Amino acid sequence: MTEATTDKFSAGEQGIGYIYQARLALLHLLQLPEDTAIFLEKDDDIDFIDSGGGKSLASLKHKAVGDKLTDLSTDFWKSVNIWLARYKRDGHAASNLRFFLFTTGTVSTTSFLARLLSGQPIASDDAITLTELAGSVLVKSESKLIAPIADAFNELSDSEKQDFLERILICDSSPRIGDIPALIREKYMRSIRREHREFVLERLEGWWTDAVIKQLTGARSQGIFGYEVSDKLSNFAEEYKADSLPITFRGKAPTHEVDTATDPRMFVVQLREIGISSNRIRSAILDYYRAFEQRSAWARENLLVLGEVEDYEDRLADEWGRYKDVAFEKLKDDSAEEALLEAGSTLYNWAEFETGKIESLRIRARVTEPYVLRGSFHILADATPQPKVYWHPRFLDRLGQVLGVAS
């Protein structure tokens, strides 16, 4: 275990706490009915809202290994302080609130808090009530932090105190932050091949983090529902099946500025040769970037079978060759440049807009993302020492001259 820092300026523990909130919320939302919604940092660390409008407020405590919760633990009483305010606000016993304390620590067996653990038997009629137990504990406290909380608690009637305490459930030995990913993989990803589970979880957590940030910043006002998590997990899992591949570069752009006028790469030079507009060249550069990076990501995740990309490029080049023969069929050795440009534009327009309709030109049957196909044509047009596809009918003849001017 990593040794805890003693630097008084360190925010590591607080940072872990915030990340823990999001991770534990995701785990619990996977466990609860799909119509459950959650909010982070609203009435408590996490608010769970069920389909009937019932609300459960959860406080989270990620503690050091071996930490114990005792009668006067501030972790418990600080949570009580929050819960009391919500209980009074929502009408005391008439409220629809429940309260949870999730802690990675354990409750001391000698503490009255053990009565609040899940799975505890219902107390007999002659047992000491929770109200009496809490009262005897608070009387002994000399803590300045707990004193105002005790005062707020004692403002309740005895029946309200008992009602309030009976709404509290402590879940000790909750999973630690580093254990949660394995729990999600083991319990909720059994339908996904084992070698893909880590990547699916990585994408699920990426989507989840974005949803949480939007909620915390006010960009999203409604709760995050369990069915949204289920749908996302299902969608990501589908992309890792045999006839599909994950699409993770949609909307992405290179970090450097896109320069359509002077970019020296061969596929860009080719587009300038047939008079393609700057806006369309920019789109082509983005398609190339996304397709190239996507292929690299697939390779890193070992999702491609041996020779799959080469076979795919052969299919594209073969189909290009067939349409090229049609597009250039009426050209003569002395055809005017205008006719050459028109034929080249026709061929490029086919590659950009028509090939997506041809199922046999997909790398896999369910990979329909346009940048994969369009970018792959640009990768072929950028091949060295000679492009595998080209658009201008005389491009190969002019190759040396064109590249010399571009450089």
Same domain, 132 and 279: no
Same domain, 278 and 399: yes
Handedness of CA 281, 285, 291, 295 (dihedral sign): positive
Same domain, 159 and 29: yes
Same domain, 163 and 274: no
Distances (CA, A) of 165 to 80, 149, 169, 371: 9, 14, 9, 58
What the block records as the tokens of 180 is 């949660």
Give the structural domain span for 353. Answer: 266-406
Same domain, 290 and 161: no
Same domain, 164 and 28: yes
Same domain, 39 and 150: yes
What the block records as the tokens of 359 is 């199922």
End position of a domain, from candidates 177, 197, 224: 177
If one counts the domains in the chain, the total is 2
The pLDDT tens digits along the chain (407 residues) read 344 445 554 445 667 888 999 999 999 999 999 999 999 999 999 999 999 999 999 999 999 999 999 999 999 999 999 999 999 999 999 999 999 999 999 999 999 999 999 877 666 555 789 999 999 999 999 999 999 999 999 999 999 999 999 999 999 999 999 999 999 999 999 989 899 999 999 999 999 999 999 999 999 999 999 999 999 999 999 999 999 999 999 999 999 999 999 999 999 999 999 999 999 999 999 999 999 999 999 999 999 999 999 999 999 999 999 999 999 999 999 999 999 999 999 999 999 999 999 999 999 999 999 999 999 999 999 999 899 999 999 999 988 765 554 44
Same domain, 169 and 287: no
What the block records as the tokens of 10 is 């360190």
Query: Does residue 211 form part of some domain?
Result: no
Residue 49 · residue 36 · CB < 8 Å = yes
Residue 21 · residue 59 · CB < 8 Å = no
Which of 316, 292, 278, 269 minimizes the C-alpha distance to 372?
Answer: 292
End position of a domain, from candidates 144, 177, 210: 177
| Strand stretches in 187-293, DSSP E | 224-225
Same domain, 172 and 298: no
End position of a domain, from candidates 132, 157, 177: 177
Beta strand pairing call for 37-40 and 55-61:
unpaired
Same domain, 171 and 284: no
Query: Does residue 249 form part of some domain?
Result: no
